[in-house]
Amino acid sequence: MGRAFEYRKERKFKRWGAMATAFTRVGREIAIAVKNGGPNPEANPKLRIAIQNAKAVQMPKDRVEAAIKRASSKDEKDFEEVVYEGIGPGGVAIMVECATDNTTRTVANVRVLFSKGGGALGTSGSVGYLFERKGIFKVESGKIKLDVVELDLIDGGAEDIYEEDGTVYIETSFNDFGNMQKKLDELNIEISGAELLRIPMNKNAVPPDAEKLVHNLIEKLEEDEDVVNVFHNMVETME
């Protein structure tokens, strides 16, 4: 199995943890998708993924439809996807993905959280080179026949395919994420979710006290409503 599988297994802080935060963040994902590609899921692959991710966090259908309608309004705020890079306690590299309608507010909040958490916000490119981007598509095991479509998936860019707890995971490179989405559409395979991961190419082992501080910093970052995802390169030993 690929490094994306191992990294996904190790992650202790999951995107969309609490329901209220989950709905806010999925709503922003929907808004960005609609602004970029329109309100029709059939013609907007990114919106289709956002809707599937909404289902994954049990966002009610009427809330999803309302989010699409709001995003279609000219009066709705535009959300921008931004990424911040920083160093946490023990020299741990941290990547923070955000969706915001006010980058001035967001960068100020992220900077304060890094500072209070014993780290420092860096410049663009300061730690990004330490990570590799991978795509993950999730399909319910009962909705895919791997013995029939495996070669097609490899042709679409699958680097690894594995099954766990009733879900099939299809791993791709960042560049093949769109190709795989198209291939799954062509094969009429319904995904249950998809995400892009930033996987560290090397891990940084730190003392237990520093590891605890990094966990606390990540937890505080993920509590900010503008933050969508947090990635790091720390070796995790704490349960």
Mean pLDDT of the chain: 89
Give the bridge partners for 81, in sequence order. Answer: 99
Integer Cα distance of 88 and 86 in angstroms: 7
- Residue 231 DSSP SS3: strand
Is it the case that residue 73 has pLDDT exceeding 90? no
CATH, domain 3-72, list 3.40.50.180, 1.10.287.110, 1.10.8.60, 1.10.10.200: 1.10.10.200
What digits encode the pLDDT tens for the residues 86-134? Answer: 999 999 999 999 999 999 999 999 999 999 999 999 999 999 999 999 9
Task: Give residue 6's pLDDT.
Answer: 65
What digits encode the pLDDT tens for the residues 133-171? Answer: 999 999 999 999 999 999 999 999 999 999 999 999 999
Task: Give residue 15's pLDDT.
Answer: 44
Domain boundary assignment for the chain: 3-72
Integer Cα distance of 143 and 167 in angstroms: 9
pLDDT bracket for residue 42 (50, 70, 90)? confident
Give the bridge partners for 133, in sequence order. Answer: 198
Q: For 19-32, b where at least 16 C-beta lie within 10 A, e where not — what string?
A: eebbbebbbbbbbb
Q: What share of the chain in percent tops pLDDT 70? A: 91
The answer to whether 189 touches 47, Cβ cutoff 8 Å, is no
The answer to whether 114 touches 107, Cβ cutoff 8 Å, is no
Q: What are phi and psi of 102, to 5 degrees?
A: -155, 90
Instruction: Name the residue among 17, 47, 84, 88 with its Cα closest to residue 236.
Output: 88
Instruction: Name the residue among 131, 126, 82, 127 with its Cα closest to residue 107.
Output: 82
